[in-house]
Each structure stands twice: as structure tokens, then as C-alpha cells.
Amino acid sequence: MMKSEIIVFNEVSIKISETNILENLNFSISSGDFIYLIGKTGSGKSSIIRSMYCDIPIQSGNCIIDGVEIGKIKKNRIPFLRRKIGVIFQDFKLLSDRSIYKNLEFVLKATDWKDKSKINERIDQVLNQVDMIDLKGRFPHQLSGGEQQRASIARAILNNPDLILADEPTGNLDPATSKEIMNLLVNINNKGSTVIMATHDYDMISNFPKRTLRLEDGKLFELSKKT
């Protein structure tokens, strides 16, 4: 069965700075794909990721994310789009004054979960999935980098998103921990979520080969279609 397209960039331009613009980006990503987005530091990988969840605007062209044309989206609709997207950051972005449980609870309450028992059940489900259930009472500063990233992955999958955007998720981790995080992301992908991962870890790409898109000189090139 042919897979549907979850992301379409058609002649899209994104302004990174006053002098640096990504121009004429053309690519599509099918539902269930796992995609690497690679390129030098400052090439615009994070800008493309951020444009997908409406953190920075596109300058021109048509960009469709999970059926929504984000160039025309109204501000009050952005939170509803973001509920279908899980984002994983290099620096985790966990709330430092709350336990891991409270970090996850905050997200569910912000996305209109009301039933306390269902909130507890869902948090335990995702923490079990990332092997963090025994650490849900810990605060971020009490965890290793790998544990914090596992917690941020748990946060990203709370609402069963169609799309996972991972911006350098292994950038601050040692090789062994990076492999563990990659295994988690591959498992999440195998359960049906589309994963787009910005990275400069070429060893990881070799160990977990997937379709790869490369940013260079403001342009995007198809490097590999391996899936």
C-alpha cells in the first residue's frame, strides 16, 4: 500500500539570518519514514526543523505538515498542530524545578488531559517504554545526560504524535548512550511515527542507515534513499 505524504516542501525559502537564507527547498517525506537531515553547523538543519513546528516562519513557497499548510496557519491553530508533533532537543529542555513525572504531567494537562488516573497511566506507559519508570520522581539535575534525553523522548511521545522531530538528539551524549537513544527512536519509528533527525553524527548514520537529506550552501540534496 502506498504511504501518504506527511511533509511536503514546495519551493520553500526560510530566513536564518539577515544574510543567510535557505532557498527553493523541495522534498517530501512519507508517513512512517525515518529521515536524517545532515549538514555543517549553521547550515540550517535546526531552522528546517523549527519551521516544521511553526517556531520560525517560512518566507515563501508551500509547506504542508500533516495536512496543514503552515504558511497560512492562524496563530490560534498552531498549538493544535503541535499536538501532533513530538520534539526532541539536544539540550533536553526539561523543566528544572519539577520531577520527571511533573514534567510529563505538565504536557498532558496543557493538552487538555483531565482525568488524573488516565494521566498517571499514560505517564507510566511512556516511562516504561523508555526504561525510566523507576526514575520518575527524580529531578533533571539528578539524572545523567542519557536519562534526561530518555525523559525528553518520553515527553515527545506522550500524545502519540504522527511526527517526531529530533534536533541533534545525540549531540551531547557519549557513543554508547547515543546508540541507546537511536535504538529508542528506531523503535518509535517502527511503531508508526515518522522521525526526522537533524544530526552531524556520521558514525550513527553508518550504524543506522536511513534516507538522508543534506544541506549545503543553502540548498537541500538527496544523499541517500536507503530505508
Higher pLDDT among residues 171 and 9, named by residue? 9
Cell numbers at 56, concatenated? 520560525
Q: Does the predicted model carry a pTM greater than 0.85?
A: yes
**pLDDT band at 19, cuts 50/70/90?**
low
Q: Is the pLDDT of residue 90 over 80?
A: yes
Q: Is the pLDDT of residue 15 over 50?
A: yes
Amino acid at 16: I
Give tens-digit pLDDT for 108-131: 999 999 999 999 999 999 999 999
For residue 25, the model assigns a pLDDT of 92
Q: Is the pLDDT of residue 227 over 50?
A: no
For residue 226, the model assigns a pLDDT of 54
Torsion angle defined by CA atoms of residues 138, 139, 142 and 143, in that order, rounded to the nearest 10 degrees: 80
**pLDDT band at 222, cuts 50/70/90?**
confident
**pLDDT band at 2, cuts 50/70/90?**
low
Q: For residues 55 and 152, what is the distance between their CA atoms, to the nearest angstrom? A: 18
Give tens-digit pLDDT for 159-199: 999 999 999 999 888 999 999 999 999 999 999 999 999 99
**pLDDT band at 31, cuts 50/70/90?**
very high
Average pLDDT rounded to a whole number, residues 124-142: 96
Mean of all residue pLDDT scores within the chain: 91
Enclosing H/E stretch for 212: strand 211-216
Q: For residues 227 and 149, what is the distance between their CA atoms, to the nearest angstrom? A: 25
Q: Is the pLDDT of residue 153 over 80?
A: yes
**pLDDT band at 225, cuts 50/70/90?**
low
For residue 30, the model assigns a pLDDT of 95
Share of the chain above pLDDT 90, in %: 76
Give tens-digit pLDDT for 36-77: 999 988 888 999 999 999 999 899 999 999 999 998 899 999
Alpha carbons within 13 angstroms on the beta-carbon side of residue 88 total 32
User: From the DSSP assignment, how many helices (H) and strands (E) are in the chain?
Assistant: 7, 10
Cell numbers at 65, concatenated? 505538515
